[in-house]
Structure 1
């Protein structure tokens, strides 16, 4: 397809011929992402020419074809010069029916034709591409207050216009992800939290039966439709960005608790695909980890549906779902940083703040010990899996797993070592300055004896470093002569001396506050902390 032919027709003003040539161009380049450098000047001129056509009164089909071409071209960051200007952004915003400062935008009516709706969708897609690929466009969108106009636009979009709503939500997500100032504007001035909460309520068909309690999913319609799931995911992503900003207003507590109630409802729902269900649940967990921890009582406080008497009448269905989600992510064995850290953080903070959640998770993750013949990291229980992650190569991942277990142990060093062994817990204890034992700063209920008889009977034989019973190893020096023993001892002394002189090793000890320091600066040497005391919730 000759770029010169298209440009000559655009200059000539024959819109019907332009439409035909662009349709052919779009068909040839719809899957193109790597553009030829040689035609860069031609693509820039084509972008400028398309904007010229779009400002003329042409048929909706011609407009949508021009916008489709512009969307394909906007994948190339080098040709966005004509589009990321004030004129370009306002032109696209007007075609998307978004009222921006200095522009025009009429709401999409119910009786609009399919061709007119296609224009709006293509304009929104173009804006998404341009905003994603151009910092200048991001700044211009902030200058013309596109985000505020976008929120007003979304209020007028009905569920009948699925793609219009979807790409409007995606554009809000992009603007809030790429511009921190836009996040604050969306939250404080545009009322985006309330708007997106309404989108979630409609998409998930939420029916409130209590102040923050949604009715259980209808057994007749247990699945979220694909269209509603797409809207839900985009709204969750945008809400995640917007709630990253500080929330100090008193009236926000009610709105945030509503969101937690909706997230609880979502976690109980499924889509017709396991992958899509997990994606939706993952975004819900990300959002929950963003919200104030005091609001998370909504997850378990559901009077209409009832709860377990053992946990103060609280409902633990969603807590179990979070635990199952975490275990599936561990079993996948990849992408722990993004896939596992949020759910670990959510369960850690909710356990630290809400006693009933901690008590329930403790029974599921750290039941009373009976068999301590194997190392804590060996096995297929949740505890075994989490202990293995405590030595993961990624610092954030291993600290997240260790912190979760530490909180379940009421931040008691002795109890943590009982379940994990000193070797696995050393990293966390060093970071927290607790190598010498003790507790964290959080206050918990008093400890009670919960050790099983099996554990008590073998407790003196447990190696505190490995956390399990070790069979006696044969003494390698038993069959050595005195000369051989002296030779090996001298060899060891020489090796340590050489490493010390090269500063490859440095003798360390533990201060009274639990931190490491050179041996001469410490009050006492480093020794394993005493064997564990027991606790109970």
Structure 2
């Protein structure tokens, strides 16, 4: 469409014609919008004109069309100058019904959400979408958003909205996530002044339909309500992302150990839930893993300190259901073809490493699954389909972070004993970790572990003397290559070897060495020139 025509109509102040033109523009560009540099100035002017229209008293249908156009234009960070101003951001905040600072509080667009019509709700949603795009693409808009206290308005909305419009809640959470990710000062204010950690925890409780049946034991309100509905899952994911930002640093002073343990309990609850698709379930578990990684490791006991169904006496009666989910999640991430191991796998490896290092029951359970007692030692440890084989293969991965995470995980499962690690992985696979830790000569790490040890199987004990420590398995004896040679063939091969050494020697690539009388090595020509010992003296005497 001709942007000049749209601009002229916006200036003409004909709502019906404006709405008609913008709807056509939106249909043509909603999925195929391209950033033509020749029209950059026109698009920037269009942004300004749209804000001017939105600042007037126009019908919600016209507001919605203007905001949809502005959302499309806001994908291009080069034209956001007019929008990323105090005036532009306040117009959008007003349409989004965000009661932030003084300017936002006086805005006439702030109405009670329970009085909104369906069309007015769509305006709020579109305004929130625009704010998300603008904040994401403009540093100036991020600064203005902090200045006008958008985060305060978002927290007020989340406090009030329990059963509100799905998309209003979703994009409010998404905008809060963006502000907390891009502005450290906003993140600090959210934690200290607005108590957003507690607020987001309550949002998760409500969204995931949590019922507390113990101090740190969550259960669904209705056991038959699984899986999580798609809309609830979407909002929960946005809340988890925002909560991840707010727990990146120590939150103990503001929120206390109790609040963090509540989060750990909700994450355990989430790990035990499923969504409508396997892909969405994996995404939910990924966010749960990331958030658990931010919590103090002492809080991880919440994952296992819940009543055991059926009993697991070998692990002191601790409930390992959530730990098994983490193991299954880790193996899925390893098996996922073409996945980014650094982003997808290392968080869960790090979480289980720290959990195993500080919680004996977790370590013992994981070791039983990952490193069961060795029986078959005829196959190299990196070959096969067991979880141990997969992790050993990762110990030589090209990505240094992935390699270190996998090696550290196995090392902790072995109670940081070099001998135990070599037993399960072989020296060749473990060398990188041992060099990094300064443990090539053997020994243990600094962490103290309990004295319980898994006894070796009879199969391993009988094969142990024949295991190659480098490869970690019993190698089949290689045939002697000269056994079936004739004498002529042996002489021919020997002559070839002599010729090779002679060639290397002439090119000064090697120097034949001999032994001096004092037992030291020296070039062969020097040792040959030494006079023989004179033994005639004893005869003359």
Common topology (TM > 0.5): yes
- Give, in angstroms, the shift of residue 494 of structure 1: 5.5
Within the alignment, does 1:265 sit opposite 2:269 as a pair?
Answer: yes
Paired positions, count: 500
Structure 2: runs of 5+ lacking an equivalent? 512-541
User: How has the CA–CA distance of structure 1 residues 431 and 195 changed in structure 2, closer, same or farther, with 3 Å as cutoff?
Assistant: same
Within the alignment, does 1:402 sit opposite 2:407 as a pair?
Answer: yes
The CA distance in 2 between the partners of 1:96 and 1:270, in whole Å, is: 33
The answer to whether the Cα contact below 8 Å between 1:302 and 1:315 also exists between their aligned partners in 2 is yes
Within the alignment, does 1:384 sit opposite 2:389 as a pair?
Answer: yes
> Which residue of the partner structure matches residue 241 of structure 1?
245
SS at match of 2:114: coil
> Which residue of the partner structure matches residue 534 of structure 2?
none
The CA distance in 2 between the partners of 1:34 and 1:167, in whole Å, is: 24
Structure 1: runs of 5+ lacking an equivalent? 501-537
Q: What TM-score comes out, normalization by structure 2 length?
A: 0.88
- Give, in angstroms, the shift of residue 307 of structure 1: 4.7
- Give, in angstroms, the shift of residue 33 of structure 1: 3.6
Within the alignment, does 1:179 sit opposite 2:174 as a pair?
Answer: no
Within the alignment, does 1:55 sit opposite 2:66 as a pair?
Answer: no
Instruction: Spell out, residue by residue over 1:155-202, the C-alpha distance to the aligned partner (whole angstroms, 9 max, x if none).
Output: 122323110000000001111111222221111112111111111111
- Give, in angstroms, the shift of residue 41 of structure 1: 1.2
- Give, in angstroms, the shift of residue 286 of structure 1: 1.0
The answer to whether the Cα contact below 8 Å between 1:26 and 1:69 also exists between their aligned partners in 2 is yes
User: How has the CA–CA distance of structure 1 residues 217 and 313 changed in structure 2, closer, same or farther, with 3 Å as cutoff?
Assistant: farther
> Which residue of the partner structure matches residue 398 of structure 2?
393
- Give, in angstroms, the shift of residue 139 of structure 1: 1.3
Within the alignment, does 1:418 sit opposite 2:423 as a pair?
Answer: yes
User: How has the CA–CA distance of structure 1 residues 360 and 48 changed in structure 2, closer, same or farther, with 3 Å as cutoff?
Assistant: same
Instruction: Spell out, residue by residue over 1:276-319, the C-alpha distance to the aligned partner (whole angstroms, 9 max, x if none).
Output: 11111111111111111100100000037575222121100010
- Give, in angstroms, the shift of residue 102 of structure 1: 3.8
- Give, in angstroms, the shift of residue 250 of structure 1: 6.7
Query: Which segment drifts farther, 445-454 or 460-469?
Result: 445-454
Within the alignment, does 1:112 sit opposite 2:112 as a pair?
Answer: no
Q: Which residue of 338, 342, 345 maps to 1:340?
A: 345
- Give, in angstroms, the shift of residue 486 of structure 1: 5.9
The CA distance in 2 between the partners of 1:126 and 1:293, in whole Å, is: 39
- Give, in angstroms, the shift of residue 447 of structure 1: 4.8
User: How has the CA–CA distance of structure 1 residues 91 and 110 changed in structure 2, closer, same or farther, with 3 Å as cutoff?
Assistant: same
User: How has the CA–CA distance of structure 1 residues 278 and 499 changed in structure 2, closer, same or farther, with 3 Å as cutoff?
Assistant: farther
> Which residue of the partner structure matches residue 123 of structure 1?
127
- Give, in angstroms, the shift of residue 470 of structure 1: 0.7
The CA distance in 2 between the partners of 1:332 and 1:216, in whole Å, is: 30
> Which residue of the partner structure matches residue 456 of structure 1?
461
The answer to whether the Cα contact below 8 Å between 1:210 and 1:304 also exists between their aligned partners in 2 is no
User: How has the CA–CA distance of structure 1 residues 389 and 4 changed in structure 2, closer, same or farther, with 3 Å as cutoff?
Assistant: same
The CA distance in 2 between the partners of 1:254 and 1:350, in whole Å, is: 19
Q: Which residue of 448, 451, 454 maps to 1:446?
A: 451
Within the alignment, does 1:75 sit opposite 2:79 as a pair?
Answer: no
> Which residue of the partner structure matches residue 88 of structure 1?
88
Matches within 5 A, 1:273-422: 273-303=277-307, 307-333=311-337, 334-422=339-427
- Give, in angstroms, the shift of residue 65 of structure 1: 1.0
- Give, in angstroms, the shift of residue 254 of structure 1: 0.8
> Which residue of the partner structure matches residue 487 of structure 1?
498
- Give, in angstroms, the shift of residue 327 of structure 1: 0.8
User: How has the CA–CA distance of structure 1 residues 417 and 499 changed in structure 2, closer, same or farther, with 3 Å as cutoff?
Assistant: farther
User: How has the CA–CA distance of structure 1 residues 283 and 108 changed in structure 2, closer, same or farther, with 3 Å as cutoff?
Assistant: farther
The CA distance in 2 between the partners of 1:456 and 1:292, in whole Å, is: 40
- How big is the alpha-carbon RMSD for the aligned residues of Structure 1 and Structure 2? 2.2
The CA distance in 2 between the partners of 1:194 and 1:21, in whole Å, is: 45
SS at match of 1:298: helix
- Give, in angstroms, the shift of residue 11 of structure 1: 1.5
User: How has the CA–CA distance of structure 1 residues 110 and 307 changed in structure 2, closer, same or farther, with 3 Å as cutoff?
Assistant: farther
The CA distance in 2 between the partners of 1:344 and 1:463, in whole Å, is: 28
> Which residue of the partner structure matches residue 46 of structure 2?
46
The CA distance in 1 between the partners of 2:206 and 2:242, in whole Å, is: 16
The CA distance in 2 between the partners of 1:486 and 1:21, in whole Å, is: 87
Query: Which segment drifts farther, 313-322 or 182-191?
Result: 182-191
The CA distance in 2 between the partners of 1:80 and 1:495, in whole Å, is: 73
Query: Which segment drifts farther, 484-493 or 414-423?
Result: 484-493
- Give, in angstroms, the shift of residue 103 of structure 1: 2.1
The answer to whether the Cα contact below 8 Å between 1:306 and 1:315 also exists between their aligned partners in 2 is no
- Give, in angstroms, the shift of residue 12 of structure 1: 2.0
SS at match of 1:209: strand
Q: Which residue of 159, 162, 165 maps to 1:161?
A: 165
The CA distance in 1 between the partners of 2:505 and 2:102, in whole Å, is: 81
The CA distance in 1 between the partners of 2:5 and 2:53, in whole Å, is: 15
Within the alignment, does 1:466 sit opposite 2:477 as a pair?
Answer: no
> Which residue of the partner structure matches residue 13 of structure 1?
13
> Which residue of the partner structure matches residue 212 of structure 1?
216
The answer to whether the Cα contact below 8 Å between 1:98 and 1:107 also exists between their aligned partners in 2 is no
User: How has the CA–CA distance of structure 1 residues 6 and 485 changed in structure 2, closer, same or farther, with 3 Å as cutoff?
Assistant: closer
> Greater share of helix residues, 1 or 2?
2
SS at match of 2:210: coil
> Which residue of the partner structure matches residue 65 of structure 1?
65
- Give, in angstroms, the shift of residue 477 of structure 1: 6.4
